[in-house]
Amino acid sequence: MTGIQTLLQAGSPIAIGSTWSWWVIALVLAIVSGVSFALVARWFWRRDNKILLLLRRQTALDKERRRIASDVHDDLGAEISLVLGMARSAGSRAHNDEERQRMNSIATGLGGVIDKIDEIIWTLDPKRDNLVATMDYIERWLTSFSDGHGLAFGSEIVNPKKRVYLTADLRRGLLLMIKEVARNIAEHADAQHVKLTSAVAYGHLYVTVSDDGRGIENERIVEGTRYGLKGLHSRAAKLEGTVLHEANEPRGTKVRIDLPLPGHHK
């Protein structure tokens, strides 16, 4: 007879079938369950508190961004607009061509400053921290830029069904890269058409600017020193993204920008 059988026959208090042993097991299970529940509840409580703290900080930051944007628009923007009006008025009353040209140059410079202020306000505005608002702004800018340089502009922007959050740094970085590509096309490509496409897939934002110009030589792409390519790749790297240049059939160049969206890790 085995030792276990002996204990069972002897009515040992630790016998599996005894009432006492089942109470012990039930008590242990209850304690383990209670401790586990407490640990899980504490984890959820700490997580929720952390999320709440982050939301409060983000709300405060967004409020400060709105205040700064409002101050820039109302104070600095208004003052520069006033000076711009004065310069234009002085130019219209100029007594000679030299004075008129000088006033017109001042007005042009001030107009550029106002455009920069509008861009800063757009970057600061938390209501624009999404893909739709960002691509709308870039599309408007490219439309105006193309019109000013005699280029035909087209776009194919595929916005996802759900709202996609973009940080202010990502929005501004993407805008500056698009501007650099557009200037390269206007200055060097000898193109007639420009097209902007964008899409979101697998946690990444893909934006392509293509033209029908004379193209760009492979050695210039490798060097990364011509046509602002070095700065373009540098901006993408700061956003953990990449830039790819390739031929656009039947002629021209495609610049593909790949940027990971917030919350996505490679």
User: Do residues 177 and 235 make contact, with C-beta atoms less than 8 angstroms apart?
Assistant: yes
pTM above 0.85, yes or no: no
Q: Which residues contact 62 (CB under 8 A, 6 or more apart)?
A: 126
Query: What average pLDDT does this structure show over 167-186?
Result: 91
Which stretch of 26-40, 73-87, 128-142 has the lowest confidence by average pLDDT?
Answer: 73-87
* 208 to 77, 88, 137, 154, 195: CA distances (angstroms): 33, 39, 16, 12, 8
Mean of the per-residue pLDDT values of the chain: 76
Which stretch of 66-70, 196-200, 231-235, 262-266 has the lowest confidence by average pLDDT?
Answer: 262-266
DSSP 136-184: HHHHHHHHHHHHHTT-EEEEEE---SS--B--HHHHHHHHHHHHHHHHH
List 205's β-bridge partners, or say none.
200, 259
Structure confidence by residue, pLDDT tens digits, 192-203: 999 999 999 889
| pLDDT at position 177 over 90 | yes
| pLDDT at position 224 over 50 | no
User: What pLDDT does residue 254 have?
Assistant: 92
Structure confidence by residue, pLDDT tens digits, 110-139: 777 777 777 777 777 888 889 999 999 999
Closest CA to 166 of 218, 86, 241: 241
Q: Alpha-carbon distance 113 to 119, whole Å?
A: 10
Structure confidence by residue, pLDDT tens digits, 133-165: 999 999 999 998 999 889 999 999 887 877 888
Note the CATH architecture for domain 129-266: 2-Layer Sandwich (3.30)
Confidence of residue 259 (pLDDT cuts 50, 70, 90): very high
Q: Alpha-carbon distance 127 to 104, whole Å?
A: 35
Residue written as tokens 């790819």? Answer: 244
